[in-house]
Amino acid sequence: MAGSAQLRYCYRSLGTDDYMIAIIDYGMGNLRSVSKAFEAVGHQAIVTRDTASIQNASHVVLPGVGAFGDCMTNLRQYGLIEPIKAAIQSGKPFLGICLGFQLLFTESEEFGCHEGLDIFPGKVRAFSKDQALKVPHMGWNQVNIQRPCPVFENIADGSNWYFVHSFFVDPADTQIAATTTSYGLPFTSSIWKDNVLACQFHPEKSQAVGLQLMKNFGVWK
């Protein structure tokens, strides 16, 4: 795996006042476990739906557990759609986790058709019921790194990560895939483009490899 010197991103030094990770609170998701994981690797993190706090944060995280349509309803209700898009457009590091990954795409077929944030073209699709698969896909599975990414620094290719999901992302541009995973079929388990890293697996539940990713994210700039 290529070293970070070959990438156009670098790492910020860990000061006490120069960074803050904003974890977006839209009334759904395992917010506390994400916050505790960042704290465990020495990063400052706040759980917030305050627009100014999101704007002023050095890093932004969109976690998620629940139904796609309900989540989009909550994001609209709390006025969080524009702050999320502004954070991404600003160039600051942005991390989407599980449903927070899926929401970045155009639409989802979960319980009907629901519009997403449309940051990236693509659709969130259900695992096929024609295959002998247990759905949801829940538990540990292998993640295969497709290209060097700074947030996967010091993480071995083929590591096992924790998943809980019934739907997967089908991006229109397959070149943005950072990792793939197989469950009945190969699917995109994370994407990386510019300042956005988003993953279907749960780093906050993935023990050592997950904590390494969160440590890397907190010093990414």
Q: What is the DSSP letter of 151?
A: G
Q: Which residues contact 54 (CB under 8 A, 6 or more apart)?
A: 22, 24, 48, 60, 80, 83, 84, 87
Q: Where are the chain's structural domains?
A: 4-218
Q: Rounded distance, CA 218 to CA 37, Å? A: 11
The whole-number pLDDT of residue 16 equals 36
Q: Which residues belong to the active site?
A: 98, 202, 204
Residues listed for the chain: 221
Digitized pLDDT (tens) for each residue of the chain, 221 residues in all: 333 333 333 333 333 344 699 999 998 878 999 999 999 999 999 999 999 999 999 999 999 888 898 999 999 999 999 999 999 999 999 999 999 999 999 999 988 889 999 999 999 999 987 767 898 999 999 999 999 999 999 999 999 999 999 999 999 999 999 999 999 899 999 999 999 999 999 999 999 999 999 999 999 98
The whole-number pLDDT of residue 19 equals 65
List the Cα angle 142/66/131 in 5-degree steps: 50
The whole-number pLDDT of residue 116 equals 96
Q: Which residues contact 11 (CB under 8 A, 6 or more apart)?
A: 4, 150, 216, 219, 220, 221
Looking up tokens 């999101």 gives 54
The whole-number pLDDT of residue 88 equals 98
Helices 68-77 and 81-90: angle between axes, nearest 10 degrees: 90
Q: Which of 82, 38, 76, 37 is nearest to 59 (CA)?
A: 38
List the Cα angle 69/74/77 in 5-degree steps: 130
The whole-number pLDDT of residue 151 equals 97
In Å, how far from its chain's centre is CA 14? 22
Report the b/e string of 103-130 with b at 16+ CB within 10 A.
bbbbbbebeeebebbebbebbbbebeee
For domain 4-218, which architecture applies? 3-Layer(aba) Sandwich (3.40)
Main-chain dihedrals φ then ψ at residue 36, nearest 5 degrees = -65, -35
